[in-house]
Amino acid sequence: MLPALPFWQAISRLADRLAAKVNKGEPRQRRAAGVLAFILLWGSLALLAALLFYSAELPLVIQGLAFYLAFSDPRPAKLSAVESLAKAPARELLGSVLKRNCSRYSQEGLYKATIEGRWRVTKERLLLVLLLAFGAGLPAFLIRAWWVIGDRWHPARPGFGDFGKALVPIAWLGRALGAPLALFWTVLALKPSALFSREKPRQMAMLATALGCQLGGPLLIGGHKISRERVGPGQPADVATLRRLRILAMGGESATFLLVALALVLVH
């Protein structure tokens, strides 16, 4: 795991300040403001990436820097911190990662939510690894920028229901781009969020078996209660489960890196 750089924290703060300025008024006005803010912030990043791409005398250096920024992610560290935090801070931290209210989660519910969050992060990181196979450092950088902006303007956040709708159509495209990941790690769901929100979570049963714990059960998302089946062994999720998940996720990411590296060697 690469060390998290403050670059994305700066982008997050910029997105928050921009939203605070324009996310006002009626729903129609908020939707329009969301579109304009998205074009302004994300378009500026795209312009920066284009200038680097066309003016750099050392393209490999720029590609490497772009990938480093793309993989620099503070969320795994946040999710790992849940293991050592008291319930209240852990719920608040998980809420900031998953973009839903976790204030009433039990201890086991916190562990399950942490598993969900880590699985989502892994899915995104594997997509970036696939881009590495094509030398697409700048596209990886822009995709990571889209995730960061979408995280700050998520429709599930209070006050962003209309403002965040500007990002929804692009989110559909982002989900479609995740499909090839199943070729590298079949345990990984094509849509990690759907893996945890289906009433009959068959795919989640694979993860529960791999971790040796029980997943599923009732879930409250956006005010709607989902009655999911409980899957996996009867052992409840605990700190040891989170450690096993971390090893499983890092193993999957490392294996994907090796497959991509092998493919590049064979091609060249």
Q: Which of 25-34, 130-139, 184-193, 224-233 has the lowest mean pLDDT?
A: 184-193
**36-82: pLDDT as tens digits:** 888 888 888 778 777 766 766 656 666 777 777 777 777 787 888 88
First CA to last CA across the chain, in angstroms?
27
Quick one: CA torsion of 49, 54, 56, 57, rounded to 10 degrees? 160
Backbone angles phi, psi at 104, to 5 degrees: -110, 10
Q: Is the alpha carbon torsion for 246, 252, 258, 261 positive or negative?
A: negative
Alpha carbon 73 to its chain's center = 9
pTM over 0.85: no
pLDDT (tens digit per residue) in 96-136: 777 778 888 888 888 888 888 888 787 777 777 777 666 67
**Token pair recorded at residue 156:** 């599930």
Q: Confidence band (pLDDT; 50, 70, 90) for 190?
A: very low
Helix axes 137-152, 107-133, angle to 10 degrees: 150
Q: Are 137 and 66 in contact (CB under 8 A)?
A: yes
Residue with tokens 């990886």, as numbered in its chain: 140
Q: Could you give phi then psi for residue 135, rounded to 5 degrees? A: 65, 30
Position with higher pLDDT, 138 vs 36: 36
